[in-house]
Structure 1
Amino acid sequence: MFILGMGFVGQFFAEQLKNQGWAVSGTCTSIAKKKKLEEKGFNAYVFDANEPQLEVLNSLNYHTHLLISIPPVVGKGDPMLQHVNLLKSVLDDENLQWLSYLSSTSVYGDCGGAWVDEE
């Protein structure tokens, strides 16, 4: 499993998978977070979703499952959707068997029961 965005929600999911015997790799936003993830047994990469590094995305080719759990950016929405063509080109080797997007409702705040999207 490769998780783009091993923040609170992504890391929780990663730990559950690891406890079930999965090998999990993923991304974070700082060297300090990378070190903490590696201490927990994860293969981690520092990654900026606004300017995705091809060498990190190429790591996806060694995984059959991808979870995208990067929170939206105010005014931009999902940063990975800004780079959808790059992501598609990296995933074009047909190794990927499963892809999912996981979002935390907490990133949207209280919307009083109204529908919420990336806008």
Structure 2
Amino acid sequence: MTGTTPKVPGTYVFDAAESRRGRALNRLCGSLKDPGNRARFTADEAAYCDAYGLTAQQRDAVLRRDWNRMMELGGSIFYVFKLAVLDGKSMQYLGGVFTGMTTEEFTEALRAGGRSFG
């Protein structure tokens, strides 16, 4: 499938186009690995978003912590997770959000070997 991103129902395919679209969002989230940046973000989240040039939709998703929307707007889980950690959220929490499960249900599904998509 040259030049075509395959569609997988219920998933986000993070390809080059999504990477470009989410660049500002991912840069912001990636910057949160630095303690000083975390402090600046926490002090004024809206201003921090503006400094990174997020689109209005990305800014809204970050401020509302709409994890699914961040992914739809080009977010990479590897970067968005840094924001989740700042909020004290686990990867299992995000997995639950992304799959429509509670954290506990998602964790149990992992322990049971994952979900079946067939």
Superposition TM-score, scaled by structure 2 size: 0.32
* Rg (Cα) greater in structure: 2
The structure with more strand, counted as a fraction of residues:
1
Structure number with the higher helix fraction is: 2
